[in-house]
Amino acid sequence: MSEKSFQDYYPESLQHCYGCGPKNPEGHHIRSFWEGEESVARFTPKEYHLAFPGYVYGGLVASLVDCHCVGTAAAAAYRAEGREPGTNPPFRYVTGSLHVDYLLPTPLGGELEIRARVEEIKGKKTIVTASVIAEGKVTAKGRVIAIRMPEHLRPDPG
């Protein structure tokens, strides 16, 4: 079996996110993995994910940064406690803030790499920064503030 991504550990009730839910048939299915201190996701946009001919729609780039960074925040919370994902108490996160700087047009046609790093874990808040890389160049940089999901939003009892 192939390696499990962060998103494969999400409970069933959270597996329907349009960006990263493995169970959303219409979604992007973003999958994130640790590579040392960084987390990495790879995604190949479809030909219709364009902003203008030859280049990727910025909203898609933002979605990649968003889901990859929120997943990284969750994974980092378990890692910081030296716990396996899926153990209790569970860590669930939502996006509080998503900032993207578009440095270069992102070429459409090949695989994009999204590399993220946890800058800070402070109480309910985790700050994650990311780079989007296409053809060896950083085309966008992002910063996400992921916040622990409040009880009232949590669909799963765990």
Ligand X SMILES: CCCCC/C=C\C/C=C/C/C=C\C/C=C\CCCC(=O)SCCNC(=O)CCNC(=O)[C@H](O)C(C)(C)COP(=O)(O)OP(=O)(O)OC[C@H]1O[C@@H](n2cnc3c(N)ncnc32)[C@H](O)[C@@H]1OP(=O)(O)O
Give the per-residue contact string, 37-66, with ligand X (x = CB under 6 A; - = no): -----------------------------x
Work out how close the CB of 75 gets to ligand X at its nearest, in angstroms, rounded to a whole number.
Answer: 3
Quick check: 145 binds ligand X (CB under 6 A)? yes
R_g of the chain computed on alpha carbons: 15
The closest alpha carbon to 146, from 85, 95, 107, 105, belongs to: 95
Q: Are the CB atoms for 144 and 74 separated by under 8 Å?
A: no
Quick check: 93 binds ligand X (CB under 6 A)? yes
Work out how close the CB of 90 gets to ligand X at its nearest, in angstroms, rounded to a whole number.
Answer: 6
Work out how close the CB of 103 gets to ligand X at its nearest, in angstroms, rounded to a whole number.
Answer: 23
Quick check: 125 binds ligand X (CB under 6 A)? yes
- CA distances to 55, 77, 85, 92 from 88, rounded to whole Å, are 43, 12, 9, 11
Work out how close the CB of 136 gets to ligand X at its nearest, in angstroms, rounded to a whole number.
Answer: 27
Work out how close the CB of 152 gets to ligand X at its nearest, in angstroms, rounded to a whole number.
Answer: 9
Of the candidates 46, 54, 59, 94, which one interacts with ligand X according to CB under 6 A? 94
Contacts with ligand X, residue ranges (CB under 6 A): 6, 9-10, 14, 17, 19-20, 66-67, 70, 74-75, 78, 85, 91-97, 122-125, 145, 147, 150, 153
